[in-house]
């Protein structure tokens, strides 16, 4: 990935979010309280359609006997797509440390914390609240990743503020989950709106920051090692977030589900 054009790295993260976009849109169309299997049938058709190009490509590779080598003029290389004069300077030690730690923090919230407590923060208000919070978050996530193509923030203070905002949104979700089975402000409408809004804000900021941090880490020299540590800290953050939430939920039972009939 370090040898390709930077746009491919952004497209990689956009593709990760798009994997849940079509199922989420179909789920929104079907809605809740509808137990017919229309969504499953639609997903089955989508998977069959997606399987056809792979089958064609596989058969073409069987019939072809190309010899790929460095002297083949048909091979396009992206290594020289960016002039050396336009390559940004590498991040300093302090900036690099911030980017890696912020990457771990954002992914801990995104993959470990929010996914663990979101059901407690939303189901207490209604099934529709949970449904819209989860599905709309999956819709917003690829949009947040795609935003990096148009809005590129390189200022560390601004990125720190955005990271703080994403942490606040995550903290609100945790607070709503801790209140369960009680409503915030003793209002179902207010609690439902706050839980959905905080979920959407957290999903958008987490997706955008993850792509932006990876793009900044890729710049300058030593791209390969920086991207390696970017991926490592993504996994480290996700692991720490999940490791923290697991005993809180399953051992110490700090979060309680709302009764099915209220």
Domain positions in the chain: 6-251
pLDDT-above-90 percentage for the chain: 55
Least confident segment among 82-86, 198-202, 228-232: 82-86
Task: Decide if pLDDT at 71 tops 60.
Answer: no
Which among 12, 49, 17, 6 is positioned nearest to 207, based on CA atoms? 17
82 vs 55 pLDDT, higher one: 55
Which among 194, 220, 181 is positioned nearest to 91, based on CA atoms? 220
CA dihedral sign, ordered 11, 13, 15, 17: negative
Task: Decide if pLDDT at 229 tops 50.
Answer: yes
* CATH among 1.10.1060, 1.10.3470, 1.20.1250, 2.60.40 for 6-251: 1.20.1250
58 class by beta-carbon count within 10 Å (0-12 exposed, 13-18 middle, 19+ buried): exposed
Q: Please report where in the chains the tokens 């020289």 appear, as a residue.
A: 80
pTM, rounded to two decimals:
0.80
Q: Indicate the pLDDT class of residue 64, thresholds 50, 70 and 90.
A: low
Q: Indicate the pLDDT class of residue 37, thresholds 50, 70 and 90.
A: low
Q: What is the average per-residue pLDDT within 43-48? A: 66
Tell me the pLDDT tens digit for each residue of 171-220.
999 999 999 999 999 999 999 999 999 999 999 999 999 999 999 998 87
pLDDT score recorded for residue 55: 60
Task: Decide if pLDDT at 76 tops 50.
Answer: no
pLDDT score recorded for residue 89: 55
């Amino acid at each position: 990935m370090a040898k390709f054009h930077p746009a491919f790295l952004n497209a990689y993260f956009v593709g990760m979010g798009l994997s849940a976009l079509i199922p989420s849109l179909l789920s929104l169309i079907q809605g809740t309280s509808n137990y017919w299997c229309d969504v499953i049938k639609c997903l089955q058709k989508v998977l069959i359609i997606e399987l056809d190009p792979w089958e064609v490509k596989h058969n073409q590779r069987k019939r072809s006997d190309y010899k790929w080598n460095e002297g083949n003029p048909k091979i396009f290389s992206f290594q020289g797509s960016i002039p050396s004069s336009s390559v940004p300077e590498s991040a300093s030690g302090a900036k690099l440390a911030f980017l890696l730690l912020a990457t771990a923090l954002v992914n801990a919230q995104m993959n470990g914390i929010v996914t663990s407590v979101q059901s407690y923060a939303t189901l207490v208000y209604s099934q529709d609240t949970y449904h819209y919070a989860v599905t709309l978050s999956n819709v917003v996530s690829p949009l947040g990743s795609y935003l990096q193509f148009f809005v590129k923030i390189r200022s560390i203070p601004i990125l720190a503020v955005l990271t703080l905002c994403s942490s606040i949104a995550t903290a609100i979700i945790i607070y709503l989950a801790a209140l369960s089975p009680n409503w915030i402000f003793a209002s179902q409408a207010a609690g439902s709106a706050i839980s959905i809004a905080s979920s959407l804000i957290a999903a958008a900021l987490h997706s955008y920051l993850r792509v932006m941090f990876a793009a900044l880490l890729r710049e300058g020299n030593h791209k390969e090692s920086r991207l390696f540590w970017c991926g490592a800290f993504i996994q480290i953050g996700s692991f720490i977030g999940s490791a923290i939430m697991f005993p809180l939920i399953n051992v110490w039972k700090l979060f309680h589900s709302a009764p099915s009939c209220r």
